[in-house]
Amino acid sequence: MAGDIATGALLGRAVEPRAGESGGGAAQGVCLNCGTALIGEFCHACGQNGHVHKTLSSIGHDLLHGVFHFEGKVWRTLPMLVAHPGQLTRRYIDGERARFVSPLALFLFFVFLMFATISSLGGASDMNFDATPRSREERIAAVDGNIAKTQAELTKAEGLAAKGGPGAEDAASDIVGLKATLSGLKVARNTIATSKDGHTRVTLSDAKTGWDRLDHGIAKANANPELALYKLQSSAYKYSWALIPISVPFVALIFLWRRKFKLYDHAIFVTYSLSFMLLLVTAVTLLMMIDAPGVITGCLIAFAPPVHLFAQLRGTYGLNWFSSLWRTLALMLFGIITLTLFAMLLLGLGLME
């Protein structure tokens, strides 16, 4: 295959004119894209290669170049995004662009990767729900089934932990998570059984925001939480870009008196930070899929976001540890507010229809 491509490339050179030669109706020494006189191998006006191939082998060459060129950037960008996010953000802001994947491209790639992973492993899209709310008895029966399944898994884990030997440590770590899940299921069952119509409620179900479309969306989510979760997941994929403009003002707020940092700096910071968070969600989802020890996923969820934010703040803005620490805590709080505003935006836009 490689030999065929090489042979095709040589034949292409023999048949096609090189840059500056006449061929295909192009003027000699002129860019075929914009008509600018060529000075060197590439056009200094539009950047197009002066030598335009017109062979089948050139299609394979472009494909391989595109894949490996992007991969080269990815393998330079990802390690820095994870281990040195501040350096990556600062170097990109300062103009070092050719070596790294742009923050927006990386963000969109991880959005796709995260939702593809969740969907393939069975996310909200695989939930068993109807377009109309289920009865109290059906909801209780569904929760009872989950309680019985969780109790059986807990009993099995306790037995393995008591016996000792291989798998005992993993079983012991699973017991904590299973007990917490069982407790939550029992609370949910009690809530359904004691509510007046058998439906769980959204926290703001009885609140009136004054925005009719938002109030309508909240009411529909309150009436059928399972359908609401599915709709929110589907809409979040398409409108995930809105997280960037929602987040930037919060970052600007904590640098309000630092006028040397512009909104552009904050936008790059936010986009790379969100890219890491999406990567983290994907990694945690995969770890849960392979039944990784709960202590690993728990530590990632609890410590990875603040540690990453702290490192990115220090490296991007050149802060000391105290300035980075309080801004990290502020951004963690603002992150919760951002997700709440994002969910409200989806509801208010009528995406629950």
Report the share of the chain in percent with pLDDT over 70.
62
Per-residue pLDDT, 297: 85
For the segment 126-149, the average pLDDT, to the nearest whole number, is 65
Asked if pLDDT for residue 311 goes beyond 80, the answer is yes
Confidence label for 230 from pLDDT (cuts 50, 70 and 90): low
Q: Which residues, other chains included, contact 196 with Cβ-Cβ below 8 Å and sequence gap of 6+?
A: none
- Regarding predicted confidence, which is higher, 266 or 120? 266
- For the stretch 68-106, pLDDT in tens is 555 678 888 999 999 999 999 999 999 998 888 889 989
- Regarding predicted confidence, which is higher, 340 or 203? 340
- For the stretch 3-38, pLDDT in tens is 444 444 443 443 333 433 333 334 458 888 888 888
Asked if pLDDT for residue 188 goes beyond 70, the answer is no
Q: What is the DSSP string of 11-79?
A: HHHHHS--TTS-BTTBPTTB-TTT-PBP-SSB-TTT--BSS---SHHHHHHHHHHHHHHHHHHHHHHHH
- Regarding predicted confidence, which is higher, 340 or 137? 340
- For the stretch 235-284, pLDDT in tens is 777 788 899 999 999 999 999 988 899 999 999 999 999 999 999 999 98
- For the stretch 32-64, pLDDT in tens is 888 888 888 888 888 788 777 777 666 666 665
Distance, CA of 301 to CA of 273 (rounded, Å): 15
pTM: predicted TM-score of the whole model, two decimal places: 0.61
Q: Which residues, other chains included, contact 306 with Cβ-Cβ below 8 Å and sequence gap of 6+?
A: 328, 329, 332
Q: Quick check: 274 and 244 in contact, CB under 8 A?
A: yes
